[in-house]
């Protein structure tokens, strides 16, 4: 296996104990054993998310959950305000447009948070606004958007639809307190599971919107999930092995608590950022809205993103991500989410230092590592 350190914004490394759960014998998903696992998993996930809202596990990627959120929340011709300051905000808008919704696109600058005063003015000038879509952790730019502010801007009739695919567990969120109507997340991010599972969580207001919705849906029909959940099943064949793995992993992080997970990710993210700044490199995202899950970095002048990524992977077995969309050749991204710890950061920064030196960047060996160590000590 070429990669030893997955420093990506997903997928993330999976603990061996969790992988062992996936290797156990497959069983009937219509039987009592599965029903018990699903009930426990659902309860533990609600505990971790600190919500009383209804939630369901989907056998899908995060994008599948995004589509599920759209088709169950709206009706033909509904006005939806899509908040876009990165590639995934645009994806939400594109999904909504594909179902014939009246999508109004509100743009922010990539690498920056939104102008919330301008957003408030925009919302107030839209009649019959059915919903707002937003990405909490925009991994393409490393920005975390302020859901509390957005929740205060929307009116009571407007649904707030949140993509928390990469951010849930790493960023602060109060689903019930902030009145978030639909939130989704994916298994391969902070939850540190293999890809293939998604979670959708819906408020009472969202479920009422579902009952009024006339958008086409079959696999994503949340009413079917609700009906089958009541008898301890899923409407279609689930990823049984992933569900078993999720039960073990969610139970562990639920017992630790959301606050503990967020704090750990904050500490790790700060180590990475301080290490990068010590190297004299420029962070792409602005201070004050930097995500705890990924750090986008501009390469030194004269060195290409592709050169950095290739050398780190080929020589040091460390895989970092490139940019997305228009940032493809402008930034490389270090992911620091899931099962990451301080020594993971030290290893990644060491590989980056040695790669940059080999590529001609003038930096003293150990600079980034020392800065990251100081950041860790100062966090305690």
Backbone angles phi, psi at 248, to 5 degrees: -70, -45
DSSP state of 106: E
Residue 219 has a CB neighbour count (10 Å cut-off) of 14
Annotated binding residues, as ranges? Answer: 333
Whether 265 contacts 170, CB under 8 Å: yes
Strands 318-322 and 5-7: parallel
Q: How far is C-alpha 186 from the geometric centre of its chain's CA atoms? A: 7
In contact, 130 and 205? CB cutoff 8 Å: no
Note the residue count of the chain: 380
Complete edge-to-edge strand list for the sheet that includes strand 318-322: 5-7, 318-322, 332-335, 294-298, 282-283
Binding site per annotation, positions for substrate: 333
DSSP 3-state of 80 = strand
Nearest residue to 372 (alpha-carbon basis) of 234, 237, 278: 278
> Is the separation of the CB atoms in 55 and 202 below 8 Å?
yes
Q: Which helix (H) or strand (E) holds 318?
A: strand 318-322
Angle at 332 between CA 330 and CA 337, to 5 degrees: 145
Q: For residues 166 and 190, is the Cβ–Cβ distance under 8 A?
A: yes
């Amino acid at each position: 296996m070429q990669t030893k350190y997955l420093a990506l914004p997903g997928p993330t490394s999976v603990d061996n104990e969790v992988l062992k759960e996936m290797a156990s014998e497959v069983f009937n998903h219509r039987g009592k054993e599965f029903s018990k696992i699903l009930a426990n998993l659902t309860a533990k996930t609600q505990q971790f998310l600190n919500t009383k809202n209804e939630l369901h596990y989907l056998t899908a990627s995060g994008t599948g959950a995004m589509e599920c959120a759209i088709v169950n929340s709206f009706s033909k011709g509904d006005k939806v305000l899509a908040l876009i300051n990165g590639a995934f905000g645009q994806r939400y808008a594109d999904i909504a447009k594909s179902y014939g919704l009246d999508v109004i696109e509100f743009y922010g600058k990539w690498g920056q948070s939104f102008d919330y005063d301008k957003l408030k003015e925009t919302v107030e000038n839209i009649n019959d606004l059915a919903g707002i879509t937003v990405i909490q952790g925009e991994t393409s730019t490393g920005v975390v958007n302020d859901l509390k502010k957005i929740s205060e801007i929307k009116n009571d009739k407007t649904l707030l639809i949140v993509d928390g695919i990469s951010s849930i567990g790493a960023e602060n969120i109060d689903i019930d307190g902030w009145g978030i109507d639909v939130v989704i997340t994916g298994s391969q991010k902070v939850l540190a599971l293999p890809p293939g599972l998604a979670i959708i969580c819906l408020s009472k207001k969202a479920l009422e919107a579902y009952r009024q919705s006339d958008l086409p849906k079959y696999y994503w029909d949340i009413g079917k999930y609700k009906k089958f959940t009541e008898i301890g099943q899923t409407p279609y064949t689930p990823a049984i092995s992933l569900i078993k793995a999720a039960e073990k992993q969610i139970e562990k992080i639920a017992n630790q608590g959301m606050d503990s997970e967020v704090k750990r990710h904050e500490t790790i993210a700060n180590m990475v950022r301080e290490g990068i700044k010590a190297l004299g490199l420029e962070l792409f995202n602005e201070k004050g809205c930097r995500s705890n899950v990924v750090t986008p970095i501009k390469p030194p002048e004269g060195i290409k993103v592709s050169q950095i990524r290739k050398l780190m992977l080929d020589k040091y077995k460390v895989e970092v991500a490139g940019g997305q969309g228009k940032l493809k050749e402008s930034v490389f991204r270090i992911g620091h989410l899931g099962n990451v710890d301080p020594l993971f950061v030290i290893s990644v920064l060491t590989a980056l230092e040695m790669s940059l030196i080999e590529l001609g960047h003038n930096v003293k060996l150990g600079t980034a590592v020392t800065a990251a160590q100081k950041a860790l000590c100062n966090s305690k």
